[in-house]
Amino acid sequence: MRHINSKTGLFCVIGDPIEHSLSPIMHNSVFEKLNLNYVYLAFKIKKEELEDAVKAFRILAHGFNVTIPHKVSIINYLDEISKEAELIGAVNTVKVYKNKLIGYNTDGIGAIKALEEKTSIEGKKIVIAGAGGASRAIVFQLALRDCEITLVNRTYKKAVYLAKEVDEKLNKKIKTEELSKLKEIIKNADIFINTTSVGMYPNTNETLLLAEDIPEKIVVMDIVYNPLKTRLLKEAEKAGAKTIDGLGMFVYQGAEALRIWLGIEPPVDVMRNAVLKALVGS
Ligand SMILES: NC(=O)c1ccc[n+]([C@@H]2O[C@H](COP(=O)([O-])OP(=O)(O)OC[C@H]3O[C@@H](n4cnc5c(N)ncnc54)[C@H](OP(=O)(O)O)[C@@H]3O)[C@@H](O)[C@H]2O)c1
């Protein structure tokens, strides 16, 4: 059992809403396991409070995570941002270093690590559904690799806009299609990644694809992690496809943040089990 004392260092996550966040459970499991004198808390920070909160954390914290709705606006209050965060245009991890605030984005790296546990990326045809914040991180990270990306989104113009941005920044062409074409284009894909919130609690019966639409040879990844086994993953299993749930991405984005903050090799199994226990218990 760790003891909080006058030397305990602070890490935290800021967002609104924040009550549902599993980051405190995950990061505190690491501090406990490695006997590190840090604590990780969650703070509900409204949009109009962000500037004041960041000023305080510059003095009080060693680092913090940033979630909805602050991932883009936080950039205004930072001293530097990493190449990835600049490409993606959003920050989910801030390191306080020598009185400087440095922003990073570990979401895309986390997703790719989870994906590469089950499949290779090079030369693959990858279909991605969604063009929101998480999609941006994954699309930019994948665009740096040798793979063919097709993007579909309910609001089609958002997919077109994201593809245009990737082309301008990385000189990489990404195809776009209407969401209604998903069933058709999936037939030729090697990997499908759902980055939309379809299937997330409480709408757990929703799915973009049914078993009959899913080819057996495809790898299906769903980044939604509440529930862990989404309807999409159940349908993919029924079709005989390989599946990857959203827990891996969540754990790996957190592990990457710990590497940035503390330079440690995080015990990912401990992190995974802590989150899993919380998800099962909720
Ligand atoms: N595993 C992880 O570590 C991790 C990390 C980040 C996020 N996530 C999860 O990823 C999901 C998306 O997060 P986000 O931050 O990217 O959210 P976001 O920026 O709000 O984007 C939501 C995306 O979902 C689409 N969408 C929402 N409802 C839909 C529906 N009924 N039919 C079709 N498309 C729909 C939106 O399409 P429009 O553009 O048409 O609105 C948009 O593309 C959430 O469930 C979140 O919990 C997981």
Round to whole Å and give the CA distance between 265 and 184: 42
Residue 99: pLDDT band with limits 50, 70, 90: confident
Helix ranges (DSSP H) in the chain: 23-33, 50-60, 83-88, 107-116, 133-143, 156-170, 182-185, 231-238, 247-262, 268-281
Residue 282: pLDDT band with limits 50, 70, 90: low
For the chain, counts of helices (H) and of strands (E)? 10, 12
Instruction: Write phi, then psi, for 78 (nearest 5 degrees).
Output: -105, 160
Nearest atom (ligand 1) to Cα of 199: 45
Share of the chain above pLDDT 70, in %: 99
99 residue type, one letter = N
Closest CA to 250 of 229, 275, 227: 275
User: Measured from the CB, is residue 254 less than 6 Å from ligand 1?
Assistant: no
Nearest atom (ligand 1) to Cα of 134: 16
* Section 118-133 average pLDDT: 96
pLDDT in tens, 151-190: 999 999 999 999 999 999 999 999 999 999 999 999 999 9
* Section 50-69 average pLDDT: 97
Round to whole Å and give the CA distance between 92 and 111: 14
Query: Considering Cα of 145, then 148, then 154, then 158, what sign does the dihedral take?
Result: positive
Q: Would you say 218 and 247 are in contact if contact means Cβ atoms under 8 Å apart?
A: no
Domains of the chain listed by start with CATH number: 9-105+249-281 (3.40.50.10860), 108-245 (3.40.50.720)
* Section 105-128 average pLDDT: 97
Which two tokens mark 155? 């609001």
DSSP letters of 2-27? ----TT-EEEEEEESS-TT--HHHHH
Residue 197: pLDDT band with limits 50, 70, 90: very high
Which residue do the tokens 């057996």 mark?
A: 216
pLDDT in tens, 10-45: 999 999 999 989 999 999 999 999 999 999 999 999
The reply to whether the predicted model has a pTM over 0.85 is: yes
Residue having the nearest C-alpha atom to atom 29 of ligand 1: 198
Residue 1: pLDDT band with limits 50, 70, 90: low
Residues whose CB is less than 8 angstroms from the CB of residue 7 and which lie 6 or more positions away in sequence, other chains included: 37
User: Measured from the CB, is residue 200 less than 6 Å from ligand 1?
Assistant: yes
Average pLDDT taken over every residue of the chain: 96
